[in-house]
Amino acid sequence: MAVMTYLEAGKLALAEEMRRDPLVWAVGEDLGRGGVFGQYKGLAEEFGHDRISDAPISESCIMGAAVGAAMMGTRPVVEMRFSDFALCAVDELVNQAAKARYMFGGQTRVPLVVREPIGIWRSSAAQHSQSLEAWYAHIPGLVVVVPSTPADNRALLKAAIRCDDPVVYMEHKNLWGLEGEVPDSDAGVGEVAELGKARVLREGADVTIVSWSAAVHSALAAAGSLAGRGLEAEVVDLRTLWPWDRETVMASVRKTGRLLVVQESVSVAGFGAEVAASVAETLHAALKAPVRRLGAPRIPISYAPPLEDRVRVTEEMIVAAAQEMAAVAA
């Protein structure tokens, strides 16, 4: 085990995959100087500017070039800086990359990774703070990955780079400095995760809390608080939203009889609704309380910290919702 930050784990994963496969390369704005958050620092010195490629400020051009390069056999890693900026390139991603394998009858694939940092991050305001994962989960042909820990940021990014389909890889900006243990494989090149597999981070028998990305840490903190109040919560980190691990979620809810879905993004039409509806449809007879969701209200994220805090899903909110659910069957 090594201890490293979420940012360092992602950088290590990219470097390991570039060393392993000469067809892997990265393209985006500011990569030559290390990326806007420093997540590419030192890579241009090792791999050169042909493989750590600086691009002009044109997200649509970056994405279009990368889609073509992927269809011709390379494995581009596209840096969009912020998920908000990636909307300038959504046509190339959604109408081209996501559909190419289907429209060409399987004769081509698009092994492309699009890194889109998401989430609320120190007064970044409405155009730099969105979590748009549900948009991409809605699109057939796209894989959607949302790592919550340094270990997962290494293992899942490696898996995303090796995937033969386009992957929208959404790292939370507020997690860059998070430290954690990151395991090595026997070969010393790191674990490669299996896409579509959730992880049970804490076991419990009273309520299932399903979450992803940074909200996982609020869920874990809430589970600790609930345990001190006599309520044992099981915390499930989805890790990928498409494909998502229905089996793990269903097994947990069969055990607890209660489901609380926690997301940072806007609750309206969020991915939490997919999880909630699937559980309600499949396990309605086994539920001890109605399924609950927690997410942000449908308003832009403010620059002002007090207003920004009003849209956050907090540990206290999760604790209160879980207690209310437990009281239904009491």
Active site residues: 128
Cα dihedral 315, 320, 321, 322, rounded to 10, equals 90
Give CA 290 to chain center in angstroms.
26
Task: Output the 3-class SS for 147-179.
Answer: CCCHHHHHHHHHHHHHCCCCEEECCEHHHCCCE
Residues sharing a CB contact under 8 Å with residue 185, sequence separation 6 or more, in sequence order:
191, 192
C-alpha distances in Å from residue 76, one per residue of 23, 27, 98, 121: 8, 7, 15, 27
Q: Is residue 131 within 8 Å of 264, Cβ to Cβ? A: yes
> 309: buried, middle or exposed (CB in 10 Å: 19+, 13-18, 0-12)?
exposed
Cα dihedral 20, 23, 24, 29, rounded to 10, equals 150
Q: Residue 119 is inside which H or E element, if any? A: none
DSSP characters for 14-54?
Answer: HHHHHHH-TTEEEEETTGGGT-TTSTTTTHHHHH-TTTEEE
In angstroms, the CA 292 to CA 272 distance is: 9
